[in-house]
Amino acid sequence: MHPAPSVIFFTTFSGLGFGLLFFLGLGFPAVTGWMAFAFFAIAYAMAVGGLLASTFHLGRPERAIKAFTQWRSSWLSREAWCAVGALVLMGLYAAGLVFFQTRIAFLGVLGAVLSLATVFTTSMIYTQLKTIPRWHMTITPVKFLSLSLAGGALFAGQVSVALVLLVVAGLVQIFTWVEGDKALANSGTDMATATGLGTIGSVRAFEPPHTGTNYLLREFVHEIGRKHSQKLRAISLLLMVVVPFVLLVLPFSHILVLLAVVSHVAGVLTARWLFFAEAEHVVGIYYGKR
Amino acid sequence: MTTLPAQTEKKLGLVIDLDTCVGCHACVISCKGWNTENYGAPLSDQNAYGADNSGTFLNRVHSFEVQPDDGAAQLIHFPKSCLHCEDAPCVTVCPTGASYKRVEDGIVLVNESNCIGCGLCAWACPYGARELDQAEGVMKKCTLCVDRIYNENLPEEDRQPACVRTCPAGARHFGDLGDATSDVSKLVAERGGMDLMPEQGTKPVNQYLPPRPKDDMPEFDVLAPFLAPVAEEPKGFLSWLDKTLEKL
């Protein structure tokens, strides 16, 4: 899959933003006034910034409002509802904390649940696609949720929780890589089933339908992404989990937590680039590519 | 609505004969022509006369080489367009309701004025049947020439998809695959029509007819085995030349 910067930016930062909102909704850290304003400003900048970035990959962004209509069948539409619901509820909850020094607990808890639901619906947009076996696994939503929670805990300064969640997210990430490498072969889709010609003999793509490139090849076939896959996996795991973990274990200082956050974000961005760049869409089979 | 109809009254679709297709790409051109001038946004090209050209097509012809365990390799031309699946994954993922499957005839269409160009339907399609038009920013796909097949302004013989009408080899057939007595259904039954990527669970309506088994190549001359072999070793001048060249 083509690793579009807008989608990588969107999934990374909205995941972190809604992860932070989850902890703020539950009252961690228990901040009010200007401190609360600062925390919510960071969370909203990431969540809303991510959502805005996602509109950049639309062909007709001016009609984006229509994406709210099909919540009965479409995960993308459900994501739109959850995101707006979470942002509105958390906005009201934040107003209480910032302006009235009052924590409206039920609003916060409801907003926290909707924030996690937003991350879940985002993950389901990818998980539902049978055409991309590397994403079509039950572990995919677990990965998105565990990363969002770990990042949220880190941003919320919940050190002890963050330590546990970082390790969990790291283990889940490793598991998705191991399982993902087998996914295309396990899906049963290959040249023989794609062409139906497997009963005659071994099938080879002889000539593509066009001499130049096209939308399908640009969007779905990104073979270069797998070249440095193992190195990038190691780098992303180091930045995403190992470095923040070590920095958090060291005696507490704000500068170390800040460094841990920066390292974690860089790691998630790298992993998310790989999430797209490594994913094989079955349509590539028709071109003899993956 | 992007939920799929439980049942459609007809299952209009194509039957493509891989035994007959000669790979001339006439169906690709006639499709591009008709669908650029008629229903919906035109199929645009980018940098059509430059080095890095590309464009939107609803129908493309691949060519595959199949190597049997014994015998000669076969070259098979393979036209591919929307299969108008019964369980179309492209429809249910659409967030705006722009993608839908018609109850009356099962055709999968895009309402272009509702399409936001998110591309998710193309991600969900295993066949590469949908392409996002780079000029219009909306998703384009085969309409089964919905503006031809019911068009009473056209002579009756033209009321079929442009690709079928134009095919010089008769490799493309159009009809109701939900009606077991239709010509296309009989053809599918007779020739063992198949689904592409059945494991994807899309239940495609379009069917592909596999190439017929090839005959064994007969011995060209029945007397050949009984004739005396021709001398293989060169003699005289040729023998000298052969040896001299070997030494060089």
Name the residue among B63, B118, B210 with its Cβ closest to that of A207: B63
DSSP β-ladder status, B207-209 and B12-17: parallel
- Least confidently predicted of A30-34, B62-66, B194-198, B217-221: B217-221
Q: Please indicate whether, in this complex, the C-beta atoms of A67 and B96 are within 8 angstroms of each other.
A: yes
Backbone angles phi, psi at A172, to 5 degrees: -60, -40
Reported as half-sphere exposure (CB side, CA atoms, 13 A), residue A131 has a value of 27
Query: Is residue A7 within 8 Å of residue A269, measured between CB atoms?
Result: no
| Residue ranges covered by each domain of chain A | 5-287
The one-letter code for the residue type at A96 is G
**Distance in angstroms (rounded) separating the CA atoms of residues A245 and A231:** 20
Name the residue among A128, A206, A287 with its Cβ closest to that of B75: A206
Over chain B, what is the mean pLDDT? 93
Residue B109 bridge partners (DSSP): B100
For residue B120, what pLDDT is reported? Answer: 96
Average pLDDT over residues A60-77: 94
Q: For residue A290, give both structure tokens.
A: 């993956």
Reported as half-sphere exposure (CB side, CA atoms, 13 A), residue B65 has a value of 10
Q: What residues of chain A lie within 8 A of the CB of B115, using their CB? A: 59-60, 63
Residue found by looking up tokens 């009010």 in the block: A32
Average pLDDT over residues A99-116: 96
Those of residues 242-271 in A touching chain B at CB distance below 8 A are none
For residue A171, what pLDDT is reported? Answer: 98
Name the residue among B94, B125, B199 with its Cβ closest to that of A70: B94
Task: Judge whether A185 is closer than 8 Å to chain B, CB to CB.
Answer: no
Q: Please indicate whether, in this complex, the C-beta atoms of A131 and B117 are within 8 angstroms of each other.
A: no
Q: Please indicate whether, in this complex, the C-beta atoms of B116 and A212 are within 8 angstroms of each other.
A: no
**Distance in angstroms (rounded) separating the CA atoms of residues B221 and B204:** 47
Q: For residue B74, give both structure tokens.
A: 């076969």
pLDDT interval class at A117 (50, 70, 90): very high
Task: Judge whether A6 is closer than 8 Å to chain B, CB to CB.
Answer: no
pLDDT interval class at B1 (50, 70, 90): low
DSSP β-ladder status, B59-67 and A202-207: antiparallel
pLDDT interval class at B216 (50, 70, 90): confident
Rounded to two decimals, the ipTM of the complex is: 0.93
For residue B241, what pLDDT is reported? Answer: 87
Residue found by looking up tokens 């490594």 in the block: A278
B228 pLDDT above the threshold of 80: no
For residue B226, what pLDDT is reported? Answer: 79
Q: For residue A176, give both structure tokens.
A: 């998705």
Tell me which residue of B128, B244, B220, B193 sits closest to A216, measured CA to CA.
Answer: B128
Number of H helices, E strands in chain B: 7, 11
Assign B13 to helix, strand or coil: strand
For residue B242, what pLDDT is reported? Answer: 84
Alpha-carbon separation of residue A163 from A41, A170, A246, A251, A288 (angstroms): 24, 11, 9, 14, 44
For residue A69, what pLDDT is reported? Answer: 94
pLDDT interval class at A140 (50, 70, 90): very high
The one-letter code for the residue type at A69 is T
Å between A246 CA and nearest CA of chain B: 39
**Distance in angstroms (rounded) separating the CA atoms of residues A185 and A180:** 10
Q: Least CA distance to A74: which residue of chain B?
A: B93
Q: What residues of chain B lie within 8 A of the CB of A130, using their CB? A: 89, 124, 126, 200-201
What pLDDT digit, counting tens, does each position of B72-114 carry? 899 999 999 999 999 999 999 999 999 999 999 999 999 999 9
What pLDDT digit, counting tens, does each position of B14-38 carry? 999 999 999 999 999 999 999 999 8
What pLDDT digit, counting tens, does each position of A209-248 carry? 998 899 999 999 987 778 889 999 999 999 999 999 999 9
Å between B115 CA and nearest CA of chain A: 7
Tell me which residue of B183, B129, B138 sits closest to B12, measured CA to CA.
Answer: B183
Residue A244 neighbours by CB distance under 10 Å = 28
Residues 6+ apart with CB under 8 A from B233: B239
A78 pLDDT above the threshold of 70: yes
Rg for chain B (alpha carbons), in Å? 25
Domains and CATH numbers, chain B: 12-209 (3.30.70.20)
Over chain A, what is the mean pLDDT? 95
Alpha helices in B131-178, H assignment, sequence order:
146-149, 162-166
**Distance in angstroms (rounded) separating the CA atoms of residues B43 and B162:** 15
Q: Select the residue from A1, A65, A70, A78 to test the B interface by mutation, using most B Cβ atoms within 10 A.
A: A70
Assign B246 to helix, strand or coil: helix
Q: For residue A184, give both structure tokens.
A: 């295309």
Task: Judge whether A52 is closer than 8 Å to chain B, CB to CB.
Answer: no
pLDDT interval class at B218 (50, 70, 90): low
Q: Please indicate whether, in this complex, the C-beta atoms of A196 and B210 are within 8 angstroms of each other.
A: yes
Query: Count of A–B CB contacts within 8 Å?
Result: 198
Query: Is residue B5 within 8 Å of residue B101, measured between CB atoms?
Result: yes
Q: Please indicate whether, in this complex, the C-beta atoms of B89 and A132 are within 8 angstroms of each other.
A: no
**Distance in angstroms (rounded) separating the CA atoms of residues B115 and A59:** 8
Alpha helices in A156-253, H assignment, sequence order:
159-187, 191-195, 215-220, 229-237, 243-249
Average pLDDT over residues A121-129: 97
Tell me which residue of A148, A201, A172, A204 sits closest to A13, measured CA to CA.
Answer: A148
**Domain formed by A5-287, architecture:** Up-down Bundle (1.20)
For residue B214, what pLDDT is reported? Answer: 84
Torsion of CA B200, B201, B204, B207, to 10 degrees: 70
pLDDT interval class at A20 (50, 70, 90): very high
Q: Please indicate whether, in this complex, the C-beta atoms of B128 and A207 are within 8 angstroms of each other.
A: no
Q: What residues of chain A lie within 8 A of the CB of B132, using their CB? A: 59, 215, 219
pLDDT interval class at B238 (50, 70, 90): confident
Assign B208 to helix, strand or coil: strand
Name the residue among A132, A201, A281 with its Cβ closest to that of B67: A201
Q: For residue B224, give both structure tokens.
A: 């050949």
Our measurement of the distance from residue A118's CA atom to the centroid of its chain's CA atoms, rounded to an integer in Å, reads 11
H or E stretch at A217: helix A215-220
A273 pLDDT above the threshold of 70: yes
Tell me which residue of B107, B208, B17 sits closest to A193, measured CA to CA.
Answer: B208
For residue A44, what pLDDT is reported? Answer: 97
Name the residue among B63, B118, B199 with its Cβ closest to that of A189: B199
Q: What residues of chain B lie within 8 A of the CB of A60, using their CB? A: 115-117, 137-138
Reported as half-sphere exposure (CB side, CA atoms, 13 A), residue A98 has a value of 15
Assign A56 to helix, strand or coil: coil
The one-letter code for the residue type at A35 is M
Name the residue among B28, B97, B117 with its Cβ closest to that of A69: B97
For residue A57, what pLDDT is reported? Answer: 87
Name the residue among B69, B115, B126 with its Cβ closest to that of A282: B126
Q: For residue B149, give both structure tokens.
A: 């097949």
Query: Is residue A70 within 8 Å of residue B95, measured between CB atoms?
Result: yes
CB crowding B54-77: b at 16 or more within 10 Å, else e? bbbbbbbbbebbbeeeeeeebebb
pLDDT interval class at B229 (50, 70, 90): confident
B49 pLDDT above the threshold of 80: yes
Average pLDDT over residues A274-289: 95
The one-letter code for the residue type at B86 is E
Helices A139-155, A105-127: crossing angle, 10 deg rounding: 140
Residue found by looking up tokens 């069948």 in the block: A73
**Distance in angstroms (rounded) separating the CA atoms of residues A79 and B118:** 14
What pLDDT digit, counting tens, does each position of B107-148 carry? 999 999 999 999 999 999 999 999 999 999 999 999 999 999
